[in-house]
Protein backbone atom coordinates (compact mmCIF):
# COMPACT_ATOMS: atom_id res chain seq x y z
CA UNK A 1 0.00 0.00 0.00
CA UNK A 2 1.25 3.46 -0.91
CA UNK A 3 0.64 6.44 1.36
CA UNK A 4 1.20 10.10 0.50
CA UNK A 5 2.11 12.59 3.21
CA UNK A 6 3.88 15.94 3.52
CA UNK A 7 7.64 15.86 3.84
CA UNK A 8 9.13 16.35 7.31
CA UNK A 9 12.69 17.28 8.26
CA UNK A 10 13.53 13.72 9.32
CA UNK A 11 12.86 12.62 5.72
CA UNK A 12 15.75 14.66 4.31
CA UNK A 13 18.48 11.97 4.42
CA UNK A 14 16.29 9.45 2.54
CA UNK A 15 15.15 12.12 0.06
CA UNK A 16 18.78 13.02 -0.67
CA UNK A 17 19.61 9.35 -1.26
CA UNK A 18 16.73 8.97 -3.71
CA UNK A 19 17.63 12.24 -5.44
CA UNK A 20 21.22 11.08 -5.96
CA UNK A 21 20.06 7.68 -7.26
CA UNK A 22 17.74 9.23 -9.82
CA UNK A 23 19.32 12.37 -11.19
CA UNK A 24 22.64 12.95 -12.92
CA UNK A 25 22.58 16.51 -11.55
CA UNK A 26 20.85 16.11 -8.17
CA UNK A 27 19.50 18.90 -6.04
CA UNK A 28 21.71 19.71 -3.07
CA UNK A 29 20.67 19.55 0.55
CA UNK A 30 20.59 23.35 0.51
CA UNK A 31 18.05 23.37 -2.33
CA UNK A 32 15.79 20.98 -0.43
CA UNK A 33 16.11 23.11 2.71
CA UNK A 34 15.12 26.18 0.68
CA UNK A 35 12.07 24.31 -0.67
CA UNK A 36 11.09 23.38 2.90
CA UNK A 37 10.87 27.04 3.88
CA UNK A 38 9.46 28.55 0.69
CA UNK A 39 5.87 29.79 0.93
CA UNK A 40 4.94 28.52 -2.55
CA UNK A 41 6.67 25.13 -2.35
CA UNK A 42 5.28 21.80 -1.18
CA UNK A 43 7.20 18.58 -0.81
CA UNK A 44 5.31 15.31 -0.50
CA UNK A 45 6.62 11.80 0.00
CA UNK A 46 5.22 8.43 -0.93
CA UNK A 47 5.66 5.76 1.72
CA UNK A 48 5.70 2.04 0.89
CA UNK A 49 6.51 -0.70 3.39
CA UNK A 50 7.29 1.97 6.04
CA UNK A 51 10.01 3.43 3.79
CA UNK A 52 10.03 6.55 1.67
CA UNK A 53 9.70 5.25 -1.88
CA UNK A 54 9.64 8.58 -3.69
CA UNK A 55 8.91 12.28 -3.50
CA UNK A 56 7.43 15.13 -5.48
CA UNK A 57 8.19 18.83 -5.08
CA UNK A 58 5.60 21.25 -6.48
CA UNK A 59 4.91 24.93 -6.42
CA UNK A 60 1.65 26.84 -6.44
CA UNK A 61 2.13 30.22 -8.10
CA UNK A 62 -0.49 32.57 -9.58
CA UNK A 63 -3.19 29.92 -9.73
CA UNK A 64 -0.95 27.31 -11.33
CA UNK A 65 0.95 24.24 -10.21
CA UNK A 66 4.54 23.77 -11.32
CA UNK A 67 5.97 20.30 -10.85
CA UNK A 68 9.60 20.90 -9.86
CA UNK A 69 11.11 17.53 -9.01
CA UNK A 70 9.89 13.94 -8.95
CA UNK A 71 11.93 10.88 -8.04
CA UNK A 72 11.26 7.26 -7.17
CA UNK A 73 13.75 5.04 -5.34
CA UNK A 74 15.19 2.43 -7.68
CA UNK A 75 13.67 -0.54 -5.85
CA UNK A 76 10.19 0.99 -6.09
CA UNK A 77 10.22 1.88 -9.77
CA UNK A 78 7.29 0.51 -11.78
CA UNK A 79 5.24 0.13 -8.57
CA UNK A 80 2.99 3.18 -9.07
CA UNK A 81 4.89 5.58 -6.80
CA UNK A 82 5.13 8.41 -9.35
CA UNK A 83 1.53 7.83 -10.44
CA UNK A 84 0.32 7.97 -6.82
CA UNK A 85 2.25 11.18 -6.08
CA UNK A 86 1.09 12.90 -9.24
CA UNK A 87 -2.53 11.87 -8.70
CA UNK A 88 -2.46 13.28 -5.16
CA UNK A 89 -0.96 16.59 -6.29
CA UNK A 90 -3.43 17.02 -9.14
CA UNK A 91 -6.41 16.12 -6.93
CA UNK A 92 -5.29 18.69 -4.37
CA UNK A 93 -4.74 21.31 -7.06
CA UNK A 94 -8.23 20.74 -8.46
CA UNK A 95 -9.74 20.94 -4.97
CA UNK A 96 -7.94 24.27 -4.46
CA UNK A 97 -9.32 25.64 -7.74
CA UNK A 98 -5.97 25.71 -9.50
CA UNK A 99 -6.44 26.08 -13.23
CA UNK A 100 -3.31 24.61 -14.79
CA UNK A 101 -0.35 22.34 -14.08
CA UNK A 102 3.01 22.79 -15.79
CA UNK A 103 6.22 20.80 -15.89
CA UNK A 104 9.38 20.22 -17.83
CA UNK A 105 10.93 16.83 -18.46
CA UNK A 106 14.00 15.55 -20.26
CA UNK A 107 13.08 14.57 -23.81
CA UNK A 108 14.79 11.23 -23.23
CA UNK A 109 12.79 10.40 -20.11
CA UNK A 110 10.19 8.40 -22.01
CA UNK A 111 8.77 6.71 -18.90
CA UNK A 112 7.98 10.05 -17.28
CA UNK A 113 6.58 11.49 -20.52
CA UNK A 114 4.30 8.46 -20.86
CA UNK A 115 3.11 8.91 -17.26
CA UNK A 116 2.38 12.61 -17.76
CA UNK A 117 0.50 11.96 -20.98
CA UNK A 118 -1.56 9.28 -19.22
CA UNK A 119 -2.73 12.04 -16.87
CA UNK A 120 -3.66 14.26 -19.82
CA UNK A 121 -0.60 16.49 -20.02
CA UNK A 122 0.10 17.79 -23.51
CA UNK A 123 3.26 19.20 -25.05
CA UNK A 124 3.37 22.99 -25.03
CA UNK A 125 6.96 23.83 -25.90
CA UNK A 126 10.59 22.90 -25.54
CA UNK A 127 13.85 24.32 -24.27
CA UNK A 128 16.91 23.45 -26.32
CA UNK A 129 20.00 22.35 -24.40
CA UNK A 130 18.19 23.07 -21.13
CA UNK A 131 19.95 20.54 -18.90
CA UNK A 132 23.65 20.77 -17.94
CA UNK A 133 24.50 17.83 -20.20
CA UNK A 134 22.87 19.57 -23.20
CA UNK A 135 19.66 17.51 -23.32
CA UNK A 136 16.51 19.35 -24.34
CA UNK A 137 13.51 19.83 -22.04
CA UNK A 138 9.96 19.14 -23.13
CA UNK A 139 7.41 21.53 -21.61
CA UNK A 140 4.03 20.04 -20.77
CA UNK A 141 0.75 21.40 -19.41
CA UNK A 142 -2.54 20.13 -18.10
CA UNK A 143 -5.70 22.23 -17.85
CA UNK A 144 -7.27 21.47 -14.47
CA UNK A 145 -10.28 23.76 -14.41
CA UNK A 146 -11.99 25.87 -17.01
CA UNK A 147 -12.01 29.57 -16.36
CA UNK A 148 -15.33 31.34 -15.97
CA UNK A 149 -15.87 34.52 -17.99
56: in domain = yes
Binned at pLDDT 50, 70 and 90, residue 146 comes out as low
State residue 145's pLDDT score.
73
Domain span at 15: 2-143
The answer to whether residue 149 is domain-embedded is no
How many structural domains does the chain have? 1
| Residue 147 binned pLDDT confidence (cut-offs 50, 70, 90) | very low
Residues paired with 106 in a beta bridge: 137
The CATH number of whichever domain residue 124 belongs to comes to 3.40.630.30
Asked, for residue 148, whether it belongs to a domain, the answer is no
| Cβ–Cβ under 8 Å, residues 30 and 42 | no
Residue 108 covered by a domain? yes
9-35: b or e for each residue (b if 16 or more CB lie within 10 Å)?
eebeeebeebbeebeeebbeeeebeeb
Amino acid sequence: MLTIRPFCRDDLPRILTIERQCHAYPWSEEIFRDEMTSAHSRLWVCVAEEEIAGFLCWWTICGEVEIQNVATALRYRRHGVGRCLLAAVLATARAEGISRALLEVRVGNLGAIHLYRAFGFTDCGSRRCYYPDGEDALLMELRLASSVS
